Amino acid sequence: MPLSKWKKILEGMEFVKGGWSWYDGERYHVSWSFNKSNSPKGKGTFTISSNDGSGRECIRDAPLSEIRVFHYE
């Protein structure tokens, strides 16, 4: 993601991005949500959620300060 978008997220912009992940040869949908107003912990947080399609779901809520960002120009 561009650094300009990351800075807006740090300022409170809501942002959601989905993608795919693989674990033990199986494909899972993963969603990253930043600053969602309906998040249990509110603004300044991110949520990573994964669903394998069979009902198993993994959700991680944490403060944005726990994300390590490396910027390459």
Q: How far apart are CA 11 and CA 26, in angstroms?
A: 36
Phi, psi angle pair for 58, to nearest 5°: -125, 125
pLDDT at 56: 66
Helices and strands, number each (H, E), in the chain: 1, 4
Does 9 reside within a domain?
yes
Please state the pTM of the whole predicted model.
0.70
Does 72 reside within a domain?
no
Does 73 reside within a domain?
no
| 3-class state of residue 56 by DSSP | coil
Does 58 reside within a domain?
yes
pLDDT at 55: 66
- Spans in the chain with pLDDT lower than 50: none
Domain of residue 29 covers 3-66
Does 71 reside within a domain?
no
Does 20 reside within a domain?
yes
* Total tally of structural domains belonging to the chain: 1
* Tens digits of residue pLDDT in 35-53: 877 666 667 888 888 876 6
